[in-house]
């Protein structure tokens, strides 16, 4: 079977180069597993054989049901090499949400890791149709990923087809503005170009050891991982944020860099208050300054980007200030404009929608032609975010042009949560607001108008929501109102914010 | 007329972005001419109109007969935008050599600058066929470039064709291994990717002011110019090396960086021995460390590359030492191997030919299908240079696998000069060697066997060669031998080096 022609900037080629040059150099670590570039390359070759054996090729889809590990990196390199697309699932979601992803992404192959997806997995697997033709591959076990990859990694050579295709890539679910998540498809060209461009931004060096602790279903984890991989450094995968594992990765494996969510950093500081681990080799505070802002509004010099642009496309201006708004100049590989509702450039200093073109822009949303057409107009990607270009040519990110709540680094889209709450038999109307919180940025708070005669209480509604939504999306508090305040445009969020103390929305300052 | 679709990494787009963001920021300086990004963008748009009016499009060729200036940068951006190729001529050449380039490159448009190409120009222009259909455009004057560009820079909008083409690009004449120079075609994708990749290598910043004093017919000048342009800095063009102009560019325009040939640096030091200019803002010594080696063998930590790879493709390893051999690791955008004569990988530590793949590799030599086929095999470019990959995965450049002499930063190919000398009626055989020289690296020296009965003397042969060859190629000294020493493979250069003191060849150490 022929493989698709890889682009001249290929993750597989870079891995092959590292393998040829430094086969014995450490490349990836997950827990007790330590892989050199030689081992990683052989495993990827084995995985490619497995994928080809199962008929996986251009346009096909693979789902990773697991947390952070070298496996998902191997899957990305191998899947793109055969022209397929791979999606690391957001394992924080509920069983219902995971079922939605499984149905929507509709993968030919599901690779799953026991214990990580927890109780959901049994239901996902056992609840599937009897004629489910998917390949379900556990990581461990006799017929598992590890065994298959070892079998596949025998000598083989791949022929190349003449035509490059754009089908292969990384898929990340994002932005439920419309009430349901959609998978943004990121091309290898964009991922690779973003990786090279971020070598100076993150000051990546071949001797870097990058801590991959933010989840790999977030684009920023890839933006941090790729420059280090391309430079020949080490990536240390931490399955999920855990203060002790992070401390050990720094003190014992020598992690030097990597993004940490503020709450994770605080947990690490608390855990290591007695200084039992030497964390002095970690210089993340410096290294993440380019994009800490993207996870915590208004706290750093930051860059601006989104999943659909493969991360940062405005890089922090030299005069950006910590605590100020996100200001930046167009990345060397991005074209950026600010436009009005007709797509025309607004006057300098005026607020409009940020639109972006260039190799890092998503090729579209999987299975969402209408949403893709709405957002991708010609070369230009409509970010749905408001911005402004000032006299000095520096762009300022103002905020989403639709309401969004940010809690613990996660985006919560009111439409998605409200539609869940309103599906409850006792709820007539629900409005989601965010209350400022020192640790989490905002706390998700629901304002609810019950149906006449209902005696639904807050704990019951919250408990119900937690069965249907990822924990971070479910409201922490519910307040009941007799009648939902409305404006001509819909629910009167401004009035609700004023009444219940909402604030600290992304972009507000 | 439709323009070709630009690639997503386009010089024209980046110029448009700078123009939109910072129209009044200084972008380019040549002598008293100072151009902002706004002015530069309008001039390029004007130039595009001029080119389109004259029917210039995909596959067409433009020749720049001038020294360093913003004009050649404008020509590159505009020509690539319309799908054409532009070549900055090596103005150090003789009239005969320039005539060869004119015939070989066969341009539809020649832009020439009075005074810079000197006496050659009259002969080139006046000696042309009466039915010469080329557009000869002087820079100045009523019908000149400046007037045309001003006319052309009125409002206009360019439609785009759907299909990108690879025809547009920069052409640089190089490597006369075969006895006659050939123009290597460098794609915009390769130029742009190389520019982005060199932002960290050269530590380019938006406030950089780059001194363009090495000639723009050399690829390294572009490798230094592009990161600064992409970052939004200023490029200061010095027509030809001149100590006073360099001092003024540093002290008065604020030049901070840029490559200097060692002999130019020495001239500047001598000229400013009394310290009348403050040169402290210039940090070139630091900034060129990555590639000084490429112009002066064995003197720095260096990178390795060649014109046909758009410059450096091995970047200096962290443990490289000044004065040591050129050692480096593959650039993030290059694939590098060391192969034997069959194209198979040699064993680690063994010497073989360096071959390269990736976006920076030339698309081929203009008008030289056989030479292109010989050098470009599939994805892999045969550099003609010897190298080795050591146990630590670092590559070492050994030297050309054909003899080359390096003098004052210029490559001199014995075959070219010998064929010129042997065209003399009194010369039976000529062999070119290089004598070590502190200032110039090597001095070109000819060993000549006269025809029986000839009384040709050295000054006469040198004078004759100087009329046919660029001054740096013509021998500085000629020694006569009764009989040219030969080996089975040809002239016995080793014996000649031993007898006449040849040495310091590129890659020898």
Core vs surface per residue B201-229: b (16+ CB within 10 A) or e? bbebbbebbbbbbbbbbbbbbbbbbbbbb
Chain A residue nearest residue B201, CA to CA: A200
Please tell me the predicted confidence (pLDDT) of residue B4: 38
Residue B248 domain-assigned (yes or no): no
CATH code of A365's domain: 2.30.38.10
Confirm if A288 and A220 have CB atoms less than 8 A apart: no
Mark yes or no for CB contact A393/B21 under 8 Å: yes
Determine the pLDDT at residue A132: 73
Both A465 and A372 in one domain: the answer is no
Rounded distance between C-alpha atoms, residue B312 and residue B238, angstroms = 23
Q: Hey, are the CB atoms on A20 and B231 less than 8 Å from each other?
A: no
Same structural domain for residues A30 and A75? Answer: yes
On whether both B393 and B441 belong to a single domain, the answer is: no
Alpha carbons B492 and A100: distance in angstroms, whole number: 77
Give the orientation angle of helix A414-421 with respect to helix A458-468, to 10 degrees.
120
Does the beta carbon of A327 lie under 8 angstroms from any beta carbon of chain B? no
One domain for residues A276 and A334: no
d(CA A314, CA A197) in angstroms, rounded, equals 12
| Selection from A296-305, A434-443, B22-31, B348-357 with the highest mean pLDDT | B22-31
Q: What was the pLDDT predicted at A319? A: 57
Mean pLDDT over each residue of chain A, to the nearest integer: 85
pLDDT tens, A367-381? 999 999 999 998 899
A230 contacts on B by Cβ (under 8 Å): 332
Return the structure tokens found at B256: 């901070």
Let me know the angle formed at the C-alpha of A45 by A42 and A51, rounded to the nearest 5 degrees. 145
CA atoms of B196 and A332, how far apart (whole Å): 7
How many CA atoms within 13 Å lie on the side-chain side of A279?
22
The shortest C-alpha distance from A191 to chain B (Å) reads 13
> What is the pLDDT at residue B296?
35
* B495 interface with A at CB cutoff 8 Å: no
For residue A336, the chain B residues in CB contact (below 8 A) are 17
- Strand B33-36 to strand A169-174: parallel, antiparallel, or no bridges (unpaired)? unpaired
CB B432 within 8 A of CB B448: no
B396 & B409 share domain = no
Alpha carbon distance A126, A203 (integer Å): 47
Count, residues in chain B: 509
Domain that holds residue B321: 300-363+370-400
Q: Which of A72, A108, A74 is nearest to A89 (CA)?
A: A72
Evaluate if residue A265 carries a pLDDT over 90: no
Q: Is A291 a domain residue?
A: no
Same domain, A374 and A387: yes
Whether the Cβ atoms of residue B378 and residue B339 lie closer than 8 Å to each other: no
Inside any domain, residue B112: yes
Which candidate from A199, A332, A345 shows the least CB-CB separation from B230? A332
- Name the maximum alpha-carbon separation found in chain A: 73
Chains A & B: contacts with CB separation below 8 Å = 89
Confirm whether B294 is domain-assigned. no
Q: What is the pLDDT along chain B (509 residues), one digit of tens a residue?
A: 344 333 467 899 999 999 999 999 999 999 999 999 999 999 999 999 999 989 999 889 999 999 999 999 999 999 998 999 999 999 888 888 899 999 999 999 999 988 777 677 777 776 666 667 788 999 988 889 999 998 876 644 444 433 444 568 999 998 666 667 999 999 998 999 999 999 888 878 888 999 999 999 999 999 999 999 999 999 999 999 999 999 999 999 999 988 887 788 888 888 998 999 998 888 764 333 333 333 333 333 458 899 999 999 998 765 555 556 678 899 999 999 999 988 999 999 888 899 999 989 999 999 999 999 999 998 899 999 889 999 989 998 887 777 789 998 888 888 788 888 988 999 999 999 999 998 889 999 999 999 999 999 999 999 999 998 888 999 999 999 999 998 876 788 999 999 999 998 875 54
The answer to whether residues A370 and A484 belong to one domain is no
DSSP string for residues in B353-400? EEEEESTTS--EETT-HHHHHHHEETTEEEEEEEEEE-TTS-EEEEEE
Contact criterion met (CB < 8 Å) for A9 and B333: yes
Residue A195 to residue B332, Cβ atoms within 8 A: yes
What CATH number should be reported for the domain holding residue B163? 3.40.50.12780
Which residue in the set A22, A332, A394 is minimally distant from B393, CB to CB? A22
Above pLDDT 70, what percent of chain A? 87
Q: How confident is the model at residue A153 (pLDDT cuts 50, 70, 90)?
A: low
Task: Lowest mean pLDDT of A144-148, A170-174, B76-80, B93-97, name the range.
Answer: B93-97
Q: Kindly state the average pLDDT of the residues A38-43.
A: 96
At which residue do the structure tokens 């007037």 appear? B147
Chain B residues near residue A162 by CB distance under 8 angstroms: none
pLDDT at A115: 77
The answer to whether residue A47 scores a pLDDT higher than 50 is yes
pLDDT of residue B286: 36
Q: Would you state the pLDDT for residue A178? A: 65
The structure's pTM equals 0.83
SS3 readout for B149-188: HHHHCCCCCCCECCCCCCCCEEEEEECCCCCCCEEEEEEH
- Judging contacts by C-beta atoms under 8 Å, the chain B residues touching residue A332 are 14, 195-196, 199, 230-231
Which of A251, A282, A313 marks a domain boundary? A282
Query: Same domain for B178 and B78?
Result: yes
Indicate whether A292 belongs to any domain: no
**Are residues A382 and A438 both part of a single domain?**
no
Q: Which one of A250, A282, A314 terminates a domain?
A: A282
**Residue numbers of A between 100 and 129 with CB closer than 8 Å to B:** none
Q: What is the C-alpha to C-alpha distance for residues A423 and B470, in angstroms, rounded to an integer? A: 83
Q: Is residue B434 part of a domain?
A: yes
Say whether B329 and A195 touch across the interface (CB within 8 A).
Answer: no
Interatomic CA distance for residues A233 and A74, integer angstroms: 16
CA-to-CA distance for B505 and B254, rounded, in angstroms? 36
Cα gap B334→B303, rounded to integer Å: 13
ipTM for the whole predicted complex goes beyond 0.85 = no
CB contacts, 8 Å: B392 with chain A:
22
> For residue range A204-238, what is the model confidence (pLDDT) as tens digits?
888 899 999 999 999 999 999 999 999 999 999 99
Residue of B nearest to A197 (CA): B196
Q: Are residues B391 and B413 in the same domain?
A: no
- pLDDT tops 90 at residue A294: no
Residue of B nearest to A9 (CA): B333
Residue A293: inside a domain: no
Check whether residue A418 and residue A373 sit in a common domain.
no
Q: For residue B200, give the nearest of A20, A199, A395 by CB distance.
A: A199
Which of B14, B208, B393, B396 has the most A C-beta neighbours within 10 Å, making it the best mutation to test the interface with A?
A: B393
Reduced DSSP (H G I as helix, E B as strand, rest coil) percent helix, strand, coil of chain B, to 5:
30, 25, 45
What does the alpha-carbon distance between residue B427 and residue B445 come to, in Å, rounded to a whole number?
A: 15
CB B247 within 8 A of CB B237: no
Chain A residues in contact with B206 by the CB 8 A cut-off are 318, 329
Tokens 């443990």 label which residue?
Answer: B319
Among A196, A232, A350, pick the best mutation site for testing chain B contact (most B Cβ within 10 A).
A196
CATH number at residue A476: 3.30.300.30
Q: Does A195 touch chain B (CB under 8 A)?
A: yes
Task: Please report the DSSP string for B12-48 in residue order.
Answer: HHHHHHHHHH-TTSEEEEETTEEEEHHHHHHHHHHHH
Structure confidence at residue A180 (pLDDT): 79
pLDDT digits (tens, 9 = 90+) for A80-104: 989 999 999 998 888 888 999 999 9
A168 neighbors A83 (Cβ within 8 angstroms):
yes
User: Does residue A167 have a pLDDT over 70?
Assistant: no
Whether B246 maps to a domain, the answer reads no
3 state SS of A385: strand
What pLDDT sits at residue B277?
A: 93
**Tens-place pLDDT, residues A386-411:** 899 999 899 988 877 777 899 988 88
User: Is pLDDT larger for residue A286 or for residue A113?
Assistant: A113
Counting every residue written for chain A, the total comes to 509
Number of domains in chain A: 3
pLDDT at site A39 = 96
Greater confidence, B403 or A426?
A426
Using the Cβ of B197 and the Cβ atoms of chain A, whether some distance falls under 8 Å is answered with yes
- Cβ count within 10 A of residue A244: 12
Residues in chain A with CB shorter than 8 Å from the CB of B389 are 20-21
pLDDT value for A302: 57
pLDDT level of residue A288 (50, 70, 90 thresholds): very low
Task: Judge if B336 and B420 occupy the same domain.
Answer: no
First CA to last CA across chain A, in angstroms?
56
pLDDT for position B302: 57
Partners of residue A182 on adjacent β-strands: A174
Structural domain ending residue among the three candidates A400, A424, A444:
A400
Q: Coil, strand or helix: which one is A162?
A: strand
Residues in A closer than 8 angstroms to B335, CB to CB, are: 13, 16-17
């Amino acid at each position: 079977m022929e493989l698709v022609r890889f682009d001249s900037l290929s993750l597989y080629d870079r891995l092959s180069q590292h393998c040829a040059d430094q086969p014995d150099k450490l490349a990836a670590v997950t827990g007790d597993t330590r892989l050199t570039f030689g081992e990683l390359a052989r495993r990827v070759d084995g995985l490619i054989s497995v994928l080809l054996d199962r008929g996986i090729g251009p346009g096909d889809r693979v789902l990773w049901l697991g947390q952070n590990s070298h496996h998902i990196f191997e899957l990305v390199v191998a899947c793109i090499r055969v022209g397929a697309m791979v999606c690391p699932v957001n394992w924080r979601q509920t069983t219902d949400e995971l079922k939605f992803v499984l149905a929507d992404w509709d993968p030919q192959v599901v690779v799953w890791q026991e214990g990580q997806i927890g109780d959901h997995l049994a239901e996902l697997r056992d609840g599937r149709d009897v004629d489910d033709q998917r390949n379900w591959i556990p990581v461990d076990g006799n017929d598992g990923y590890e065994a298959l990859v070892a079998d596949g990694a025998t000598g083989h050579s791949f022929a190349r087809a003449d035509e490059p295709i754009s089908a292969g890539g990384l898929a990340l679910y994002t932005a439920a503005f419309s009430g349901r998540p959609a998978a943004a498809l990121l091309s290898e060209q964009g991922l690779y170009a973003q990786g090279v461009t971020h070598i100076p931004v993150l000051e990546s060096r071949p001797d870097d050891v990058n801590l991959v602790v933010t989840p790999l279903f977030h684009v920023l984890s890839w933006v941090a991982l790729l420059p280090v991989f391309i430079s020949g450094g080490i990536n240390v995968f931490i399955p999920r944020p855990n203060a002790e594992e992070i401390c050990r990765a720094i003190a014992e494996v020598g992690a030097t860099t990597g993004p940490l969510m503020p709450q994770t950093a605080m947990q690490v500081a608390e855990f290591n208050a007695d200084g039992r681990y030497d964390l002095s080799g970690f210089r993340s505070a410096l290294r993440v300054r380019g994009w800490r802002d993207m996870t915590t509004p208004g706290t750093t010099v930051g860059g601006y980007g989104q999943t659909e642009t493969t991360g940062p496309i405005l890089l922090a201006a030299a005069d950006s200030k910590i605590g100020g708004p996100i200001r930046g100049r167009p990345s060397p590989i991005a074209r950026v404009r600010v436009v009005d509702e007709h797509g025309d450039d607004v006057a300098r200093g005026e607020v409009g929608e940020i639109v972006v073109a260039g190799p890092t822009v998503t090729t579209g949303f999987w299975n969402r032609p209408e949403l893709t057409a709405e957002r991708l107009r010609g070369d230009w990607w409509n970010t749905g975010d408001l911005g402004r270009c000032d006299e000095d040519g520096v762009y300022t990110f103002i905020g989403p042009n639709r309401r969004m709540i940010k809690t613990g680094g996660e985006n919560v889209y009111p439409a998605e949560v409200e539609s869940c709450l309103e599906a409850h038999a006792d709820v007539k109307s629900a409005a989601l607001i965010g209350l400022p919180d020192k640790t989490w940025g905002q706390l998700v708070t629901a304002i609810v108008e019950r149906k006449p005669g209902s005696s639904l209480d807050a704990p019951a509604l919250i408990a119900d929501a937690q069965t249907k939504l990822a924990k971070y999306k479910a409201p922490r508090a519910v307040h009941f109102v007799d009648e939902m305040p409305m404006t001509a445009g819909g629910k009167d969020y401004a009035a609700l914010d004023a009444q219940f103390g909402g604030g600290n929305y992304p972009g507000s300052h």
